[in-house]
Amino acid sequence: MPRKPNYDRDDLIARARDLFWRRGWAGTSLKDLESELKMKPGSFYAAFGSKDALFELALQKYASDGAARLNALAEEFGPLSALQRLPEMVIDNDQAPARACMLSKTLLELQSHAHPLAKKADEKLQLMEAQFAQLFMRAQEIGDVAQDRDPKSLARKYQSDLLGLRVSAERDGVDAKSIAADIAEGLARL
Amino acid sequence: MPRKPNYDRDDLIARARDLFWRRGWAGTSLKDLESELKMKPGSFYAAFGSKDALFELALQKYASDGAARLNALAEEFGPLSALQRLPEMVIDNDQAPARACMLSKTLLELQSHAHPLAKKADEKLQLMEAQFAQLFMRAQEIGDVAQDRDPKSLARKYQSDLLGLRVSAERDGVDAKSIAADIAEGLARL
DNA sequence: GGCTTTATTGAGTGATCACTCAAGTATATA
DNA sequence: TATATACTTGAGTGATCACTCAATAAAGCC
């Protein structure tokens, strides 16, 4: 009986994610979204409810796609090698809307307003850190990382390094590749 | 002949800096500023010209005060020790409006809009990096850093580490002190 | 083809945005 | 004290914000 929507919901979320990722939360207006998604206000609100609700869907997609990509990398190259390859990958992707991490951008923008989306971003950063820890643990099990290292500490520092790299890569004239290489090299000495 | 303003301009800039630092550019409205600075719109615009102009003054103060603090630290403890102490200092300051660096917050928020303030923030990050390089060089001269190290590379990586630390420190439940300790420890092995 | 159900349209909502300006007030010099 | 020169006040500007809703169009089921 009902009429079907004439759009691909997941594709809309991906496009919204790219817009939010690049421009941030306050920097992305509904006009921007309507223009990018080719939706009138009525359709937009029928489909997503609010700007914040769509932002949350975008965050979720960002996080789960990222986690899947890292898992695939670990599957192909092994845990430590995946962690070594990741830094250069994240700053080398020319299709990405920004070098910086969408989660950290969201956290920095909205944390001070106690905005629920800041908490969501924080939670996803925590999940990401747990994934790193898992990979360090597996690397340790197969002897790629010394036994006296703590996977959780390594994950915490690794994520911090990655966030710093991705902020630096947002700047002009910074040789981010050599920072990425430094991070990868550090992992080789574990 | 003229009437003198009944405020301390430098104090106003410091208060504005704290507001901008915590809430960001879009997150700080004129109403917020008027309330914090206790100025009516007319006085505000007579004194500063625009929100952007005041933000630039705030950025300038943030950068120059930070540079002066690091120089004082190096004067007291020597260059390498100053660089080792800095990470814990920046995340341990309870009076600061935020853990994250105001320059990186500004860069991440405004870069995608090609906003002039993003460029200003980038320039000040570059100056900061140059100051780090200078300190690494002096540390090298007095034998605290091995001769085969490149001060500029060290500075680039050190700044990236600091930026990552300060993003991580913005999160809930992250043991930022141990990240800071990792950074300081890394400098001891140069 | 009728009917029900949902998607789409787009003008319009009040609120807030950065900012203006004419009027009033205070102060230092003459 | 008179005057010139600011500084201060606060209502008001048009623009843009996220969002609403009544009207219309389209699709699946009988």
pLDDT in tens, A108-165: 999 999 999 999 999 999 999 999 999 999 999 999 999 999 999 999 999 999 999 9
Residue type, B9: R
pLDDT at position A3 over 70: no
Confidence of residue A98 (pLDDT cuts 50, 70, 90): very high
Q: How big is chain B by its Cα radius of gyration, in Å?
A: 19
Which bases of chain D are under 7 A from a protein CB atom? 3-12, 16-23, 25-29
User: Is A39 (CB) below 7 Å from strand C?
Assistant: yes
Nearest-5° angle of CA A21, CA B91, CA B178? Answer: 95
Asked if residue A115 belongs to a domain, the reply is: yes
Asked if residue B122 belongs to a domain, the reply is: yes
Asked if residue A12 belongs to a domain, the reply is: no
Asked if residue B41 belongs to a domain, the reply is: no
Q: List the structure tokens of B10.
A: 């430098």
Q: What is the pLDDT of residue A6?
A: 74
Q: What is the pLDDT of residue B39?
A: 94
User: In angstroms, rounded to a whole number, what is the distance separating the alpha carbons of residues A158 and B7?
Assistant: 47
Asked if residue A81 belongs to a domain, the reply is: yes
CATH number at residue A115: 1.10.357
Asked if residue A39 belongs to a domain, the reply is: no
Asked if residue B34 belongs to a domain, the reply is: no
Task: Give the domain range for residue A159.
Answer: 59-188
What rounded mean pLDDT belongs to chain B? Answer: 96
Closest CA relative to residue B172, chosen from A121, A106, A94, A19 = A121
- Taking contacts as CB-CB distances below 8 angstroms, the residues of chain B near A21 are none
Q: What is the pLDDT of residue A83?
A: 98
Q: List the structure tokens of A179.
A: 């920072």
Q: What is the pLDDT of residue A190?
A: 85
**Could you give the percent of chain A with pLDDT greater than 90?**
94
Closest CA relative to residue B131, chosen from B117, B106, B147, B152 = B152
Q: What is the pLDDT of residue A14?
A: 96
Confidence of residue B190 (pLDDT cuts 50, 70, 90): confident
Give the closest-approach CA distance of A84 to chain B in angstroms: 16
Q: What is the pLDDT of residue B7?
A: 80
Average pLDDT over residues B26-52: 96
* Record: contact B173-A108, CB cut-off 8 A: no
Q: List the structure tokens of A73.
A: 């990398």
Number of domains in chain A: 1
Asked if residue A19 belongs to a domain, the reply is: no
pLDDT at position A1 over 60: no
Interface test with A, best of B108, B110, B165, B166 (most A CBs within 10 A): B108
Average pLDDT over residues A46-56: 96
Of B26, B160, B170, the CB nearest to A111: B170
Q: List the structure tokens of B32.
A: 């917020």
* Record: contact B179-A157, CB cut-off 8 A: yes
Q: What is the pLDDT of residue B17?
A: 97
Give the closest-approach CA distance of B4 to chain A in angstroms: 35
* Record: contact A107-B171, CB cut-off 8 A: yes
Confidence of residue A2 (pLDDT cuts 50, 70, 90): low
